């Protein structure tokens, strides 16, 4: 029997098997090594993505909290302000963050739209992984509200009230209607209430009852068909928006005034100021000289009056009654005036251009009252006192307080967005012993813009046979839907128009090139 051939065949099979096994082992090792490398690459890629998200969110949070922001029209490095990279920690990585304001605005803080671009870097033993994110942010500014009430108090809104812009309250609001059906019922562009109900005030009484829908008894919240849609037009249980000087970022306006605007300190109590075109005129007492400041020369169009919390500043724009000299004009981005104490309306406060539908109209005024009240001044002429006059010229009424019915039979108009963080919107003198000095019958006090206040005080006094004082109402400025006065405080709430991942972003050029993600087209 021949066994040599069999032995040879077996040897060949063993050798072939060994070769095949070696090839398989090598392939498996190569595949294993490739999987390990792929896993390491994937982990680093994911880490780079998370790092980019962290850098983007950090920059957005810092800006919304009032940190000083880059200035100018072009993309500017934000994190870090100087140097190559911002270190988020050894286990996280590094980021470069640039901010690009909407090119229609001169600074990020004044923009209603801006883009945050972040490039991250994660370093392993043998490679560097980068990842990019671009996000367009639309901060919600307080100026968008026609009316914002932190605490509406015991007053109510009834027939004839019309709010052409957003209305929000952090508490329960009272609504009422004394008319049958839908005739002249209160009208809202939108109404947002933090409570899960509002109060229906029974006409002619102080009695209220809970209501949960746009229609309750005589009341139809108009436009009723739109309110039936619900959010965002009729919203109950809305999110509360924190309010007050301890939580709202008024410091942005203060810092802007201090670093490139106009900071006025040491002014006497009862100082009077006047806006005429782009000039701010200041007179501390009847015999003091007039200080004149050209606001058009300021880097930032912001004025802050650092007065005491109980001291009052009087403001108007009228130069001389009965000749009407329009007030604020000539400032490209409008103007914001802030005060620590009381700010009192001493006469009409007007824009030079009162056409609110004019796309080229830049006249816009923001008034921020930190600790005091926003009031309608008592006219000395109404209570038998002497008002200011120019020495030697008793007929010159330039510095008069002009809030009496002898001056303005049709009422007083204030063109501005008004924010009162801790105080009230009310009459300067609310004592009942003086009610008969107020206009009789009551005249209109019209705010063209909006008001954002902690609460509303007394603006009218209802007697047994007549009503004295000022009937306040708002005519909304539609420009406030997309614009706001410079450095006017944000709500801390923002919308994200887009959040785009840029995995191939790898260079500073990608952060600074306007055309990279098409921001100019927004």
Strands 187-193 and 162-169: parallel
Q: Is 501 a member of any domain?
A: yes
The answer to whether residues 117 and 226 belong to one domain is no
Per-residue confidence (pLDDT) for residue 325, from 0 to 100: 62
| Among 175, 210, 235, residue at a domain's last position | 235
**C-alpha angle 79-83-86 in degrees, rounded to nearest 5:** 40
Does 444 score more than 60 pLDDT?
yes
Which residues lie closer than 8 Å to 259 by C-beta, 6 or more apart?
299, 300
The answer to whether residues 299 and 420 belong to one domain is yes
pLDDT digit string (tens) for 483-509? 889 989 988 777 787 889 988 888 777
Per-residue confidence (pLDDT) for residue 106, from 0 to 100: 45
The answer to whether residues 227 and 284 belong to one domain is no
3-7, 294-298, 336-340: the lowest-pLDDT one? 3-7
The answer to whether residues 406 and 292 belong to one domain is yes
Does 294 score more than 90 pLDDT?
yes
| Among 194, 212, 235, residue at a domain's last position | 235
Assess contact for 321 and 379: CB atoms under 8 A. Answer: no
Assess contact for 118 and 97: CB atoms under 8 A. Answer: yes
Average pLDDT over residues 434-457: 80
What is the pTM (predicted TM-score) of this model? 0.76
Q: Is 516 a member of any domain?
A: yes
Average pLDDT over residues 188-196: 96
The answer to whether residues 256 and 160 belong to one domain is no
Which structural domain, as residue segments, surrounds residue 290? 250-488
The answer to whether residues 224 and 317 belong to one domain is no
Average pLDDT over residues 251-261: 92
Give the span between the Cα atoms of 520 and 522, in whole angstroms. Answer: 6
For residue 278, what is the DSSP state? T
């Amino acid at each position: 029997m021949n066994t040599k051939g069999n032995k040879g065949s077996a040897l060949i099979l063993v050798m072939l098997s060994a070769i095949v096994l070696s090839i398989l082992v090598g392939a498996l090792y190569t595949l294993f090594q490739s999987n390990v490398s792929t896993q390491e690459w994937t982990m680093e890629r994911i880490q780079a993505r998370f790092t980019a998200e962290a850098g983007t969110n950090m920059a957005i949070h810092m800006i919304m909290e009032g940190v000083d922001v880059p200035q100018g029209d072009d993309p500017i490095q934000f994190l870090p302000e100087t140097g190559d990279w911002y270190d988020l920690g050894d286990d996280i990585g590094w980021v470069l963050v640039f901010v690009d304001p909407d090119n229609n605005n001169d600074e990020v803080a004044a923009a209603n739209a801006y883009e945050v671009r972040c490039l991250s870097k994660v370093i392993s033993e043998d490679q560097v992984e980068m990842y990019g994110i671009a996000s367009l942010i639309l901060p919600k500014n307080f100026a968008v509200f026609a009316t914002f009430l932190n605490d509406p108090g015991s007053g109510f809104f009834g027939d004839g009230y019309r709010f052409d812009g957003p209305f929000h309250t952090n508490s329960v609001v009272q609504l009422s209607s004394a008319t049958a059906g839908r005739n002249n019922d209160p009208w809202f562009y939108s109404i947002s209430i933090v409570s899960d109900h509002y109060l229906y005030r029974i006409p002619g009484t102080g009695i209220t009852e809970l209501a949960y829908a746009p229609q309750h008894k005589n009341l139809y919240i108009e436009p009723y068909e739109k309110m039936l849609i619900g959010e965002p037009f009729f919203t109950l249980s809305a999110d509360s928006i924190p309010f007050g000087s301890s939580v709202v970022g008024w410091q942005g306006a203060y810092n802007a005034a201090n670093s490139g605007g106009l900071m006025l300190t040491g002014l006497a109590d009862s100082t009077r100021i006047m806006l005429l075109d782009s000039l701010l005129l200041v007179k501390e007492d009847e015999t003091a000289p007039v200080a004149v400041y050209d606001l058009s020369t300021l880097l930032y169009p912001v004025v802050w009056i650092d007065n005491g919390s109980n001291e009052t500043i009087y403001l108007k724009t009228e130069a001389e009654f009965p000749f009407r000299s329009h007030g604020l004009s000539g400032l490209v981005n409008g103007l914001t005036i802030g005060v620590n104490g009381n700010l009192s309306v001493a006469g009409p406060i007007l824009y030079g251009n009162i056409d609110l539908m004019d796309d080229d109209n830049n006249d816009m005024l923001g008034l921020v009252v930190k600790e005091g009240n926003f009031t309608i001044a008592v006219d000395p002429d109404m209570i038998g006192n002497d008002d200011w006059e120019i020495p030697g010229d008793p007929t010159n009424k330039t510095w008069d307080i002009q809030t009496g019915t002898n001056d303005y039979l049709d009422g007083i108009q204030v063109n501005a967005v008004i924010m009162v963080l801790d105080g009230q919107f009310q009459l300067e003198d609310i004592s009942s012993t003086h009610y008969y000095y107020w206009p009789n019958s009551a005249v209109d006090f019209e705010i063209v813009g909006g008001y954002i206040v902690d609460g509303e005080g007394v603006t009218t006094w209802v007697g047994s046979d007549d009503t004295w004082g000022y009937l306040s109402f708002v005519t909304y400025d539609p420009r406030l839907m997309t614009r706001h006065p410079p450095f006017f405080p944000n709500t801390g709430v923002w919308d994200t128009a887009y959040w785009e991942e840029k995995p191939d972003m790898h260079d500073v050029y990608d952060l600074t090139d306007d055309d990279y993600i098409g921001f100019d087209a927004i």
